[in-house]
Structure formats: structure tokens, C-alpha cells
Structure 1
Amino acid sequence: MKTYNDYLQFGTMPTNNNEARILRMKASRFTIIDGELFKKSSTWLLQRCLKTHDTDMVLRDAHKGECGNHTNGRNLSLKILHLGYYWMTLRPDALDYAKRCDACQRHAPDIHQPSEHLNMSIPSWPFMKWGMDIVGKIPPAPGQKVFMLAMTDYFSKWIEAEAFKQVLSKKCNSKKSTGQTPYSVVYGTEAMLPTEVMIPTARYGLLTSDANNIELSYDKDTVDELREMAKIWLASNQHRVANIYNKHVYIRTFHVGDMVLRKTFQNTMDVMEEKFDDTWEGPYFIDVVVGRGAYQLSSMDGIQVPRSWNALHLKLYHV
């Protein structure tokens, strides 16, 4: 801007002919009024050229002042142009200012895109996941031990019955993930519904005891091959699912010392503010990178946040 001022006021030009021609062409879009430099926009609106120490005030007032609406960086730059101000780095400054706004970061919408690629796990043997104890033993409350024992016995019987029903309902239907029925993968032979015993079908009615024993012995000899093929089919199916899942992944990685915001959950939300409460809370510091998108956090006071948090619930905080 000093170059344009010197040219318009004193006629100062570069010694190089090409640079002088470029300056004359660009300076035609500027004019000086009462000692202030103005730029002529494409709509012939005169935009005052600001110096560096004045740009922060204009950005602040246009973004969150009396008439500010916390707009994004691009619209903020357009708004400032319409107000009649201009400087050479207007657009990148507006983008950077909107990105660092504390209120905009706290009220930003939730990020629904997954932050890490899908981590697949294949069980070592069928129904392995059914035996996983994730929650652990729940301690009973005082005065409810007898009730809890009775309920525990009731629910254990109910779970066994439901599991048996599920096996009966699904044992004759092949699963898409393995291409085999669960019963055949476990026992090496196909299951038969009780209805077939009461009302024989062609499969049951035409099968003798000797033929059945021969078929069972053959199935037992080839069950390892059946299970290996089921594992290969399962791995192939998981690979297809992972390819579809990973198309929508937006990788978010953080490093130790980074400042992040954590998603506000229902148990941490202020009940008085309801929908006007912040979408994100913090900021927090990244203390430890646990791995696979998990991080240990600490507050600004240095107090460690309980348990690790997934990157899906975190976003970078810009200062």
C-alpha cells in the first residue's frame, strides 16, 4: 500500500520497466481522498485501505460485534468488503480469525465422520464373542442381596433359554459373513429342526441310521476344512465392509501437548441451558497418545481426565 501511496502522491516508480508497467496498471484501481488510500471495487464502491493495526478491530467487530453473526471466514471477508474496507491479506486473515473464534469452536456442529480406519477382529473359534465379559460383575446395592440373587438366577435361565432359541432359529440359515450355518461350523454337521422329526421331510425320512453314521463320520473328517473356509469367507466379508467404511473416514490425529475440545455429552451438559449449551467443552491438553485413535486428556489446571477418549469425540482447538 505504501507503494501505491508513493506513486499516486509523488509519482515514485520502480526503475524496471516491467515493474513500472505493472504498478501503473494496478494503481489505476486506487485513489487518494483526504490523505487516505481507497480501492475502487468492481461495483465502484470505494473501500478504505487499512493498516495492520486497524484490521484486528474491524475483524472483531464484523465477526462478533454489535452487528456480528459469527459467520465463517469467506462470508466474513465478503462482509468486510461490503462495509467498505480492504487490505491485501483480507481473505486469509478472515479465515484465520473465524477459525480461532472461541464461541464458534464451542458451538460447532458434531463431527459424525469416523476418525480412524475400521479395526477388524476375527474370532479364533465360533461364538468366541459370546463368552466375553465386558462389563464384569455388578456389585449389589445394600439391602438388595436376596433380590439380586433371585433376579440373577432368573436372568441366567432367561439368557440360556433365549440363546437356545436363537440357535434353533438360526442354525438352519447360513450367515452371510461366513457362508455357513453356525451349527455346522461348531459341530461339523447340519442341524435338523424338531419339526422334521415329527413330520419327516425327504432329508430325514429317506436317511437310514447306517447312512447317517457314514455322513457324520465324513463331516467330522472335513470339519477343519469347513471352518477354514468360513474364516476366509469372514475375512473377505470384513475386508469389503472395511472398504466401504473407510471411504467416509476423516482422519484426525493429535500429538502430545495439543489443545483439543471434547464433545459435550448429556451427563456433562448444563440442564439449565439445554439446547443453548456448548456443543464442545474444554479446552484440554493431550497427555498421552494411547493408540488407535485413543488419547489421555488433562485439564488446563493439570488435572488428568478419567479414562481415555476417542478422537471421534475430540477436535483441535485453535488459539
Structure 2
Amino acid sequence: KQTHAMAFARNFGGITGCIGKDVLRAASKPGLHVVRHYLGNRGAVHRHPAATQFVASRLSQTRQCQSSAPKHKAPFAEPVAGPSSERTKEIKKMVLTVDNIGPGVLMTLPARHLIAKVRLCHLGLLHRDLAWNEADFYEGVEQAIRTIYEHLAVQSIAPLDDLVNEGVMDSFKSEGTAVMRERWSAPPVLRQAKVVGLLSCQTCAGDRQEGPAVSVTVLVYFREEYTYIDEDDGPLASTRLTPWTFGRLASAGDHWKLTEIRAERWFYQRDPLDDNDSDDEGEAEPVRGQPSL
């Protein structure tokens, strides 16, 4: 036991040395600027028209400050314009929402990120197939989110079987009524999906062959556009912070799958209270998975 403890102590020293730099770099991410904006104006983060106008004005002021500041390389590449991203009308409405997480969680995000990364690095030392590479994980998660989102936007659920677990798949299949109620005139457009940081890392003991089951919850920053049949004043621009959870087994034959979206729906809802009218599933609960924060 002492030998194992000493080995872990040595590894832990190297791990924390790397993590400290990563956390400092993460503090400057644009996604965390959105978190700070939310914490400073949390009274404006909901769906009412007055709040929408307030958030839009604050974002406009931010853009003016950015335009007058010295130019530098953007940390996030803007999406390339194409046929699917072209809009004939100017965006006139903006909303900012945070799904199923409170100010306390956002304020402790750097600490949560640090703790989750320590656990993941330690798991990587114990299980070769779980070797932790943050850049690769973030890239894979963002690609998976975009793939899942774009398929759900056109109601093409079957191809997602290898990317989501059975519970999430069942939830997606049962959302037809909620999607129809939104009355989109075109599929929603995902402008950006970026991982802001790690919220948690949980493990569950498994058998000797498969090893433990690991689940990682990430905070995702979304920028979307929605157009509606019953609204002629241009697309609605939605900015959201939503926790998504991915899980896998430690065995070599397994891979990361989506196990939970900690929001009532995968998309922005104009009036989520209407869900109580006709859907059968637990509308107030997140899409299947781990307990909410």
C-alpha cells in the first residue's frame, strides 16, 4: 500500500504541474467570458422579451469594444459561410439561456475542471485505454455534438445509434411532438459548439475484463439560429450553456458515447412550459443520464 501511495504521489506532482497551466489557459477562453457575463447579469438570463433586448444590447456593446481593440488571432475559428448558413433576413432577436446549472456551479467551474482532470489523469495511469488527452477529447466531443445536433435538426435519428446510449436514443425518438410544436420553418443551424470546461468525472466499478465505467460531464457553449413559421422578423439567435455527459468503459473495445444532456431538450425551446400539455415522458427532467448538478 505504501508503494502504491508513493507512486501516486509522484505521479500526482507531475499531473498538477500540467493542470495548473491548463486552468490558467482555460481562464481566458471565450466560453468562460460567457460564464462571467452570465454571473454579472444573471437577472437577464431567461427567455422574456425584455431580457432578450437587454442581453442583445450588452452583446452589442461588447462587439463595439472588441472592434475598437487591437486585432489579434481569434481563438475560435468562425464557421465558413455556405448554403446551409445563409440567411435572407437579418437577426433581430437574441436570447441567452443556461440549462440546469446555477451561478454556484459556474463560479466553481475552474475548481471542478481541476478536480475532474486530476481524476482523469489518474485513471489514465491505471488504465492504458483511458490515457487522458484533453485536446483530443475536446475535439472528439465537439465533433460528436455537431454530428448529433445536425442529425436531430432534420429528424435523422437512426444514424446516431453508435454515438448515444440506449436511454438517450429513446428520449430523442420520443421528442417528435415537442419538435413539431416549435414550428420551425427550416432546421436550426448550429453556428458553434465549444467545450468550456469539465464539470465532473465519475467512475463506476466494473468487472475485471471491462474495467470501470467512466462518465465525464462537460459544459458546452452553443450558438444557434432558429427560424419560425409564425415569425417574420428574422431568425432568432440563441446562445446557451448546457452540460453534456459522455461515458465509456475502460476496455479497449469501447468508445465514448453521449449518456445525458442535462436540459429538457437538445434544442432551445421558445416556451418550455407547453411541454406539459402532450408529451408522455418526464418533461421537467434532463434527457436520460446521471443526476443533475
Establish whether TM, by shorter chain, passes 0.5: no
Q: Which has the higher contact order (CA 8 A, sep 6+)?
A: 2
Larger Rg: 1
Given the two structures, how large is their TM-score scaled by the length of structure 2? 0.20
Q: Give the number of the structure whose residues are more often strand, by fraction.
A: 2
TM-score under structure 1 normalisation?
A: 0.19
